[in-house]
Amino acid sequence: MTKTAALIAAGLLLAASPALAQTPPATPAPTPNPAYAARVISLAEAKTVVAAAEAEARKNGWAMVITVVESNGAVVLTEKMDGAQYGSGQVALKKAETAANFRRPTSYFQEAVKSGTLNAIFTGAMALEGGELLLVDGKIVGAIGVSGGSAPQDGVAARAGAAALK
């Protein structure tokens, strides 16, 4: 009986050892948050950003909704490309607001959720790629949110728009 108990204990110990050796997934390291600028994005700048994001979307055959907000989250410009799904309007807005409010791209929250940290979604952040900060002289003047494709496609279009402001 003692030998059987010892074998069972050894078996349980061996079965549990891989689980004990596992470490929780790493949470993405916080990126330095740029400061807000003393000004917000202008309509002319927003049009430039949207045009660049739209050009990238058209080049790839994607129908998207593109929203630009001021650094405080107020909408400056929204464009729904022909054929874009209706649900993408609210998603694009939420991505732009998330980037502006939390001073980081929405891909940060997506990676946090992938690694098992759910705090992001409990704060109301949109945890899908496609929200990017709009910076002038390294400071936040607004944000862009793009929706309509896959999360990586939305991110490509949003980064193309953000790059047009530099």
Task: Give pLDDT, residue 23.
Answer: 45
User: pLDDT tens digit string along 101-139?
Assistant: 999 999 999 999 999 988 877 888 999 999 999 999 999
Confidence of residue 83 (pLDDT cuts 50, 70, 90): very high
User: pLDDT tens digit string along 20-64?
Assistant: 444 444 545 555 789 999 999 999 999 999 999 999 999 999 999
Task: Give pLDDT, residue 21.
Answer: 42
Structural domain boundaries in the chain: 31-163
Task: Give pLDDT, residue 159.
Answer: 98
Topology given in CATH for the domain delimited by 31-163: Beta-Lactamase (3.30.450)
DSSP string, the chain: -HHHHHHHHHHHHHHHHHHHH--PPPPPPPPPPPPBPSS---HHHHHHHHHHHHHHHHHHT---EEEEEETTS-EEEEEE-TT--TTHHHHHHHHHHHHHHHTS-HHHHHHHHHTT--HHHHTT---SS-EEEEEETTEEEEEEEEESS-HHHHHHHHHHHHHTT-
* pTM (predicted TM-score): 0.81
The yes-or-no verdict on residue 18 having pLDDT over 80 is no
Task: Give pLDDT, residue 145.
Answer: 98
